[in-house]
Amino acid sequence: MALDEIKITRAIIERFTAKLCDSLNLDVAIVGAGPSGMMAAVKLAQKGRKVAIFERKLSIGGGMWGGGMMFNEIVVQEEGVRLLNELGIAVKNAGDGYYTADAVECTTTLASSVCKAGGRFFNCVTVEDVMVRDKKVTGLVINWSAVDIAGLHVDPLVIGSRFCIDSTGHATELINVIQRKSGATIMTDTGKIKGERSMWAEVAENTTLNNTKEVFPNVYVAGMAANATFGSFRMGPIFGGMLLSGEKVAEIIDERLKG
């Protein structure tokens, strides 16, 4: 077969443009392709929801690739093992309710599951702002990460979405921008982002689930961003809470989309 570079280029441009245009009005826009965001995307896509993840980096996976200190294994406690089993990820029993899994297998399988369920990734895209109407977030303001990194003065584009999830991890970027630009009251007891606290795995893992909720009309926090918003602890390389948080936020939003 003769290869034509122009045809290759045209195929990429046309396919990507079609994918992006078809994502201009989403049910759920997810910011950050770490474990919590990807688990939320899998569950929402499996329920037939139109969902896309916007990830700043070229690589998806957030903090999961590196396991603990680049020892690329993760620990998952008993409660989270069900989710790894559902995705067919190999799990090894480490005794006393602790389980381990290969960090690369977890990351790649989660990512593949998002795609196979019909969810979409837009990597190399930074979410820099939101769109607010009637004190509700109605979409995301996006730009190429390369534009951001190069400091180019290029205006962004917009994605409409019924609901948004901040799964940006420690940085809690979406809620930060909402707080900064809207002068908005965040749904914590102080009305503000409370910030992350130091390491305490047991409490952190339990609070991650409780803190997975709506914090501004139409915007939910999941994963590490949930704990950072509500002033809870970090937990180190144990990932059950991240995965369960993704599942929980998907269930809550799916119910709201039914209403």
Interaction site with ligand 48H (CB under 6 A) = 31-37, 54-57, 62-64, 126-127, 167-169, 171, 173, 199, 223-225, 234-236, 242
Min dist. Cβ of residue 259 to ligand 48H (A): 27
The residue (of 46 and 168) whose beta carbon lies closer to ligand 48H is 168
Q: How far is the CB of 33 from ligand 48H (least distance, A)?
A: 5
Could you tell me where the beta strands, DSSP code E, fall in 200-258? 214-216, 219-221, 233-234
CB of 54 to ligand 48H, least distance (A): 5
CB of 36 to ligand 48H, least distance (A): 3
Q: At closest approach, how far in Å is the CB of 102 from ligand 48H?
A: 15
Identify which of residues 55 and 254 has a Cβ nearer to ligand 48H in the complex: 55
Q: Which is nearer to ligand 48H, 184 or 204 (CB)?
A: 204
Phi and psi angles of residue 234, each rounded to the nearest 5 degrees, phi first: -90, 165
Pick the closer one to ligand 48H by CB: 184 or 235: 235
Identity of the residue, 54 or 162, whose beta carbon is nearer to ligand 48H in the bound complex: 54
CB 40 within 8 A of CB 222: yes
Contact at 8 Å (CB) between 189 and 211? no
The string of DSSP codes covering 31-90 is E--SHHHHHHHHHHHHTT--EEEEESSSS--TTSTTTBTTB-EEEEEHHHHHHHHHHT--
The H or E element containing residue 142 is: strand 136-144
Report the largest interatomic distance among the alpha carbons of the chain, rounded to a whole angstrom.
Answer: 65
